[in-house]
Amino acid sequence: MMMVEVDRMNLLEADVGKTYTVKEINTDDDDMTAFLFRLGCYSGEPVTLISKKRKGCVVAIKDGRYSFDKMLASAVELEEDNNTHQS
C-alpha cells in the first residue's frame, strides 16, 4: 500500500534547489493572478526555487528565471509530494 503525504507551502517557505508543483495562487488581485499566469505560474505547473533573497526569491518557471518580491512569492502556494511506501 502506498500513502501519499502532501505538504503545502508558499515560495517563501520552500527549499532552495527543489522543484514544486503550483497548487494555487492565493490573491484577490486579478492583475497579479494574470501576471503570474503570463509567466507560466499557475496550478499544476512545476516551479523551481533557485535562490532566496532578502526582498524575495528567484524562481525558474518553464524556460525562464524570474525575481519575485515577497508579495508575489507569498501568493504562490506550492505542493510537494512525498511518497511513502508501506508493506
CA–CA separation, 27 and 34 (whole Å): 11
CA–CA separation, 47 and 53 (whole Å): 17
- pLDDT tens profile 24-66: 999 999 999 999 999 999 999 999 999 999 999 999 999 999 9
Confidence of residue 86 (pLDDT cuts 50, 70, 90): very low
Confidence of residue 8 (pLDDT cuts 50, 70, 90): confident
Q: Tell whether pTM > 0.95.
A: no
C-alpha atoms less than 13 angstroms from C-alpha of 63 in its C-beta half-sphere? 0
What pLDDT is attached to residue 80? 85
Please, what are the domains in the chain? 2-85 (2.30.30.90)
- Residue among 23, 64, 66, 22 at smallest CA distance from 46: 22
